[in-house]
Amino acid sequence: MRRPRLLDLFCGAGGAAMGYHRAGFDVVGVDIKPQPRFPFEFHQADAMTFPLEGYDAIHASPPCQAYSAAWALHKRVHPRLVEAVRGRLLATGLPFVIENVERSPLRREPGLDGLHGIRLCGTAFGMTVVVRGQEYELRRHRLFESNVFLADLSCNHRLPVIGIYGHGESKPMRGKRGYQISTAEVRREIMGMPWANRDEIAEAIPPAYTEWIGKQLIEQLRAAA
Ligand SMILES: C[S@@+](CC[C@H](N)C(=O)[O-])C[C@H]1O[C@@H](n2cnc3c(N)ncnc32)[C@H](O)[C@@H]1O
């Protein structure tokens, strides 16, 4: 049986793409910047105009900076693309998933209008890392909105948190909620992205999240076939 094809818009270095690949999709990525480490077929292009025909499903991770508290502090202006992306994907009639941060305007629960949202957390997948004898957990809450129903998973918060954000110099910082260890090695291990660099991982979602979603998409595609 042919592997279904998934278009990954705003693909970055391929955190989301790898999860869909593991779930059983052939993935094609699109990003406006070169992504030399993206592990699948890649097109450098604007996701807002890239043709959407020829795929079985579409994922989009528009930039989150416009909705993020940290970036608001810098008073930098970033495009708010979620609504425009949702409109484009709805028009295709294909199954789609849009991912973004908690402060974005994505759905976070099942809706009567056919759009559903779930929130995923690294603790639901048991994602932990040991640094200098201390175990830390990944939370990295992300919303996933879809026009197909997706099963949710609950958080299981129990350990100090490790933060995977920020670019620039590696600077371990002890905070109230845990420890931010920014080394590339720690990021690769806890996020499950051994092919990506430190800054790419800061923008990525863990493949575990989209593997969970991708398996559900594939089941629904098979059921509809
Ligand atoms: C949050 S990151 C995506 C991370 C990716 N989903 C992952 O899991 O690794 C957003 C990406 O959108 C890209 N981007 C921003 N504007 C874009 C546009 N108009 N078209 C295509 N890509 C764009 C950025 O270069 C960045 O790589």
Average pLDDT value over all residues in the chain: 90
More confident residue, 73 or 3: 3
Task: Dig out the tokens for 13 from the structure.
Answer: 């270095």
Rounded to an integer, the average pLDDT of 191-200 is: 96
CA of 193 to the centre of ligand 1 (A): 16
More confident residue, 164 or 212: 212
Is a pLDDT exceeding 70 seen at residue 134? yes
Is a pLDDT exceeding 60 seen at residue 133? yes
Rounded to an integer, the average pLDDT of 165-184 is: 60
Please give the pLDDT value at position 176: 52
More confident residue, 216 or 177: 216
Any ligand 1 atom below 6 A from CB of 203? yes
CB contact set of 185 (below 8 Å; sequence gap of 6+): none
pTM equals 0.93
Any ligand 1 atom below 6 A from CB of 10? yes
CA 63 to chain centre: 11
Tens of pLDDT, residues 9-24 = 999 999 999 999 999 9
Per DSSP, 110 falls in state -
Best mutation site among 35, 37, 203, 211 for ligand 1 pocket (most ligand atoms within 8 Å of CB): 203
CB contact set of 21 (below 8 Å; sequence gap of 6+): 27, 39, 40
Please give the pLDDT value at position 45: 98
Nearest CA to ligand 1 atom 19: 46
CA of 62 to the centre of ligand 1 (A): 6
